[in-house]
Amino acid sequence: MADALKVGIAGLGTVGASLVRIITTRANELAVTCGRAIEVSAVSARDRSRDRGVDLSGATWFDSPEEMAASADIDVFVELVGGAEGAADRSVRAALTRGLHVVTANKALLARHGVELATIAEEKGVLLNFEAAVAGGIPVIKALRESLTGNKVARIYGIMNGTCNYILTRMEKEGLSFADCLKEAQRLGYAEADPTFDIEGNDTAHKLAILTTLAFGTQIAADEIYLEGIGNISIEDIEAAADLGYRIKLLGVAQRTESGIEQRVHPTMVPRDTVIAQVDGVTNAVAIESDILGELLMVGPGAGGDATASAVLGDIADIAKSRPGAQRVPVLGTPAAALAPYQRARMRSHEGGYFIRLTVADRTGVFASVATRMAENNISLESIVQRASPNGAAGGSKTIILVTHATTEESVRKAVAGIKAEDYLVGEPQVIRIERPKAF
């Protein structure tokens, strides 16, 4: 049997501690499966005295990830520190430059510096694996990077943030407000004390940017994503969607178009009878549409210590099974030097159905005016629903809900702008895109 693979782990939080425990308790099985033992030889964490429930007596401690990356007697550097800059970036670069394999769960780091890091890894002939960076325990990176080789991907989309999915699920099933659901998610540890990164869609955007590069062979473009969060989704939207046969999910979507690659993250209405609409709570789901395979949907835990550690360990096991001198799979599916420049599609040319909710003054002529604004912009309506305001008082307000047939983003924006220019609108219009998955 080959010599043991020596692993150094930077970051001993929930994921790091889970990883150490799994490697320790499954040592014999891993040695048989990988053809060599896997040993935790070095660790780095802020607090040496903290009880993490695992035995670290056999590992060498380092005061910083950078120090470990530069000098530890290891074969693989595992980065679980987090963050796009600082210690995570410096230590990963140091490890790759030194000729160490690297495994990371850091989507922010990859979204910001992925192409540069891939270039270093490929020049040094080492592996940079990051399965845990997107959708937790779902093996979507391996699928895109290896299993779907030869397929031409047309679209990739999914539920990639458990916090948002949990909030939207609770709002629908229990009739709770967004604020109440967020507070509960924070209490349960599903949301951070400052949840902005999740609920505004940034976390999903980082993951989508990585998947886009793998799917379409373009340079990572995290700053070129159309972004909307879920903060303005109300119980009224949830209920209206249910009445119309839809559920609301925060989706990340990337697809090829005639004008370039379209990347977008936003609340989306999906038909209730589709599989992806049934993905509830903190679970993630990623769908891939390609020319040879057709449609593929992967569903599973998107976060958590064990789920993320499982993905990290899978990456380590791949390294253990690899042999020196063997041909390496390109880090981002396509060699870093061959990645095409990213060309952003014109978002205003996006075509699809739309849900539009308007709160308007309850007076004669309003409905006709709304219909006129739609017609002026060549928007065909699938359904129109009028509802009285919650108070139901004459002379108050009422709600008009429109569902359009396929139309363009530009047409919808122009129609809504025309409506906003009228004096009967109460509050801001709500516009939610509709996705109709081919098979899911």
pLDDT in tens, 407-425: 998 899 999 999 999 889 9
330 near 246, Cβ under 8 Å?
no
Is pLDDT at 439 greater than 70 in this prediction? no
Distance of CA 152 to the CA centre of its chain: 21
**Matching CATH topology for 5-137+305-338 and 347-434?**
no
Is pLDDT at 197 greater than 70 in this prediction? yes
Is pLDDT at 392 greater than 60 in this prediction? no
Is pLDDT at 391 greater than 80 in this prediction? no
pLDDT at 323: 82
Average confidence (pLDDT) over 145-154: 93
Is pLDDT at 394 greater than 50 in this prediction? no
Taking CA atoms, 174 is separated from 139, 239, 248, in Å, by 32, 11, 14
**Least confident stretch, 60-64, 105-109, 196-200, 303-307:** 303-307
pLDDT at 347: 65
The second-level CATH assignment, the architecture, of 5-137+305-338 is 3-Layer(aba) Sandwich (3.40)
Segments of 45-166 assigned E as strands = 60-62, 76-79, 101-104, 128-129, 153-159
pLDDT at 2: 79
Is pLDDT at 35 greater than 60 in this prediction? yes
Q: What residue segments make up the domains of the chain, in order of their start? A: 5-137+305-338, 142-301, 347-434
Determine which one of 6, 107, 207, 249 is catalytic: 207
pLDDT at 192: 83
Residues 6+ apart with CB under 8 A from 437: 157, 270, 271, 274, 276, 287, 295
pLDDT at 393: 45
Is 207 an annotated catalytic residue? yes
Which is the CATH superfamily of the domain at 142-301? Dihydrodipicolinate Reductase; domain 2 (3.30.360.10)
pLDDT in tens, 97-124: 999 999 999 999 999 999 999 999 999 9
Return mean pLDDT, the chain. Answer: 92
pLDDT at 74: 97
Where is pLDDT greater, at 316 or 362? 316
For 347-434, CATH gives: 3.30.70.260
